[in-house]
Amino acid sequence: MLCPTCLVPRPGDAGPEGHSCPRCGQAQAASLAEWQAFPPLRFLAHDRSLPGLIARRTLLGTPLPTDGALAAGRIRSLLAAQLSGGSWNASIGWTAWYLYELHLLGVGRDRPEVRRALAWIYDRLDRFGEFHERAEVVNSYPTVMGEEQAMARRGIDLHGYLLAHLLPLGVGDEPPIRRATEFLLERYPGGRRCCPRCTANLLAALALVPDDRARAKGLAALAWLAESQRDGYWRHRGGPLFYFTLHGVGAWPEGREIVARAAPLVRQLRQPDGGWGVRARAEKTLLVVTTFARHGLLPEVAA
């Protein structure tokens, strides 16, 4: 949760028996009123979509009376759309994304519908440890910035996307995921991929892999993104890919300096109501708040 006084993450819930803020020492619980002074947090505190729900659960600690029904309704909707074989849209990318959504909504990896979906994904893994998207599927997938991105039907870019959304489920110890992770580590040399977007896509996955090779390759990618950053951005000043790249960089503790250099631009891009972006605004706002909070930099863009 965030401290409502100085906007830094603190361990556990605040309160008389909770943990105090590591910066200001206070342990008071947050309320909706306390977030009114910070436009981005006010935006998320009252947002009625999934990003707002996630923000209230994981960052703000200020649930709305309707949040329980919102979460339950979204879970029912997702499970109703699951195909009999276990997938969503008969697509490996969409299936991984919806599993990630269910995870954010508190659905565990042992639930039968989740296991069925994972089994379907694992069947798309060949003997070399490479995932394959079905040829009949349009290979464009949802992202944390709220807009779809196209991915190749196979190769390390698809692996980066899939692992970034499957590893949070706690399946990193399962043999198919270990093989897929090894494929990525063997094929990706580290550093620049082809562009900031694709490099950041791999960074988001490598940040979740507890392996010295993943760390070395990720640090090389961060170094290239730091070198190619100009005036706080990369090729896409303020566009959707700017947020996507920021997310990948922000997943690494070593990305703090890069995130800090983006702060002046991020402040400029903030809309009067406290949100970011033109489309999928709640998603982009949650991405910015989460990224800057992770590095203790949220006051730079939220005040």
Residue reference for tokens 């006051």: 299
Phi, psi of 150 (to 5 degrees): -80, 145
Residue reference for tokens 């309707």: 66
Residue 14: predicted pLDDT? 45
Which stretches of the chain score pLDDT less than 70? 10-20, 22-23, 25-30, 237-238
Residue 18: predicted pLDDT? 52
Q: Return the bridge partners of 132, or none.
A: 154
Residues in the chain: 303
Residue 15: predicted pLDDT? 44
What's the rounded Cα separation, in Å, for the pair 149 and 212?
A: 29
Tens digits of residue pLDDT in 49-88: 999 999 999 999 889 999 999 999 999 999 999 999 999 9
202: Cβ contacts below 8 Å, ≥ 6 apart: 156, 157, 160, 184, 188, 193, 217, 218, 221, 248
Residue 220: predicted pLDDT? 98
Phi, psi of 114 (to 5 degrees): -70, -45
Residue 209: predicted pLDDT? 98
Query: Considering the entire predicted model, what is its pTM?
Result: 0.92
Whether the CB-CB separation of 60 and 36 falls below 8 Å is answered with no
